[in-house]
Amino acid sequence: MACLSTNHPVVVLYSQDWRRPGILTRQWSCQPYHYNNVGTVRHKPEWRIATSMLFPAIQPSNTCRLPVSDVHTLYIEESGNPEGVPVVFLHGGPGGSCEPGHRRFFDPESYRIILFDQRGSGKSRPHASLEENTTWDLVADLEKIREFLEIDKWVVFGGSWGSTLALAYAQSHPQQVLGLILRGIFLARDEDVNWFFNGHAARVFPEAWQHFIEPIPQAERDDIIAAYYQRLTSDNEIVRMGAAKAWSIWEGSSVTLLPDKNVVDHFSDPHIALSIARIECHYFRNRSFLRPNQLIEDMAKINHIPGFIVHGRYDMVCPIDQAVLLQQHWENARLKVIGDAGHAVTEQGIARALVDSCNAMLEIVT
C-alpha cells in the first residue's frame, strides 16, 4: 500500500509471454514507464493521459457510404497502410459509433485500419433506425464490407457489444478471421443483461440508478426494458429523447472505475444517446437475436483462432466473469485483466493493453 502514496502514477507491466495462453500476471510499479519501439522498457520523464500510449492521430485516407439494404447505408473509412494487415474495428452499443481516437490503437505503418458505423449508428443512415437491424444483419454487413474492400481475411477488433458482434461474426465466418482482439466481454445472455438493467449494478451506483428509473412509473419497473422500449419508440419526440438521455447517462455513469465527466457528457449528447438507447433496448428486448448461451456453445468453431481478451477487474457494465468464461472455452486466447479499470476503452490500463495486443497480433499473423 505504501507504493500508492508516492507522487508517481501506478502503472502496470505485463510479465508473461504474449504467445502463452492464459491470464497474464502483472507487476506493479511506482515509476512511470513506457515501451520503446523495440519492446524494452525505459523511464519516461512525465506521465501523461492515456493518449500518450496510443499511436499518433491520423486522418482517413478513404471514406465511403455503402448501401447494405434498401433501408440502410453504412459509413466506412480506411486509414493506415493500404498494404498492411487488414483490421476492422467494431464499436460498442449496439448503437454507439466510431471515433477518430479508435484509429490510434493500431500501428498505421503495419495495419490497414477499417472503421465503420453499424446500422442506425454514428454517420450511418437512417439514424437510430430499428428496421432491419439485428445481430445477423450486422454479421452480413461485415461480409459485404469485406468483399467491397476486396479483403481476403482480416483481424477483428471489438469492445463491449463489439466483442459480441466479433464473436458472432467469427463463429459464422471463421475462415475470414486472422485473429480477434476483444475488450469488455459481453456474452449477451439473460444474466448479463439483467445484471445491468434489473437492479444488480444499481447496488454499486444507487444514485445513478435512481435517475435511470425516474422516468418509469413504479407499476412498470418490474420490466425496465419493456417500459423503456415503449418510450423510446414513442411518437412523442420529447418522451423519446427524455428516455434516451436517461438510458444513455445511466450507462455513461457506470463505465469507468473513477468518475469521468467527459465520458458522461459523451453519453449525454442527444445524437449519441438516441441511437444507443433505442438500438440497445431493441436488441436486449430481443435477447440480442441469439439463442441462450450461443456464443459460448459455438466457441469450438473458432478455438483455433488466436485472440487477446482485455477486461477491467472492476467492470460494472460487463462483469469480468464473462471474460473468464470465454477464455476457459477458447484455447488459443490470452486474457489480460486490468486491475485498476472498469469498462471504458478510455481508461489508461485498458488503452495500453489494447495497443500492446494489436502489436502482438502483428507478430502472430505476419
Catalytic residue numbers, as ranges: 160, 315, 343
3-state SS string over 121-137? CCCCECCCCCCCCCHHH
- In angstroms, the CA 279 to CA 119 distance is 9
**Amino acid at position 245, single letter:** K
Q: What is the DSSP letter of 40?
A: -
- In angstroms, the CA 127 to CA 269 distance is 14
Nearest by Cα to 248 from 213, 230, 211, 274: 274
Decide if 338 contacts 50 (C-beta within 8 A): no
- In angstroms, the CA 322 to CA 320 distance is 5
- List all residues 6 or more positions away from 150 whose beta carbon is below 8 Å from its beta carbon: none
Q: Taking each helix axis from N to C terminus, what angle separates 237-252 and 270-285, rounded to the nearest 10 degrees?
A: 90
Cell, residue 119: 446500422
Nearest by Cα to 226 from 253, 186, 193: 193
Decide if 238 contacts 92 (C-beta within 8 A): no
Q: Residue 10, exposed/middle/buried by CB under 10 A (0-12, 13-18, 19+)?
A: middle
- In angstroms, the CA 295 to CA 266 distance is 30
